[in-house]
Amino acid sequence: MTGGNAIRGTRVGSGPTVGESERGEAAPRKRIDYWCANAHHSKPSFALDAEVPQEWDCPRCGLPAGRDEQNPPAAKRNEPYKSHLAYVKERRSDEDGMKILDEALARLRERKGR
């Protein structure tokens, strides 16, 4: 066993009991109620002068939560992953793609001397 100068049961930076005089005064707060589509209720606190958002992510399920218990916001629809080719096909028609391919092949043939 080590000497009697070991500090036990504390975490780094906790120090002795710290009162308001050392930390400064806490900002006045207000608690706002939010409900998600799964009927989870959360009550985050905000500073009195802070802008309160209309929606808040539910800490339990991650769905958007609103301030109206009877009419919570709907879950946002996640767009499926799109590949680079899918984005290209949105911008170009098949005819445009064939034209670009033909131009690229013609340049390659010119470089090879065919």
> For 12-65, what is each residue's pLDDT tens digit?
665 555 555 566 777 899 999 999 999 999 999 999 999 999 999 999 999 999
Q: Whole domain around residue 92: which residue ranges? A: 84-113
Binding residues: 36, 40, 58, 61
- Do 60 and 33 lie in one domain? The reply is yes
| Domain-embedded: residue 99 | yes
DSSP-derived letter for residue 18 is: P
What is the pTM (predicted TM-score) of this model?
0.51
Q: From CA 22, how far away is CA 56, in angstroms rounded?
A: 33
Q: Which two tokens stand for residue 86?
A: 């899918």
Binding residues for Zn(2+): 36, 40, 58, 61
- Do 33 and 60 lie in one domain? The reply is yes
What pLDDT is stored for residue 79 in this prediction?
Answer: 81
Report the CATH number at residue 53: 2.20.28.270
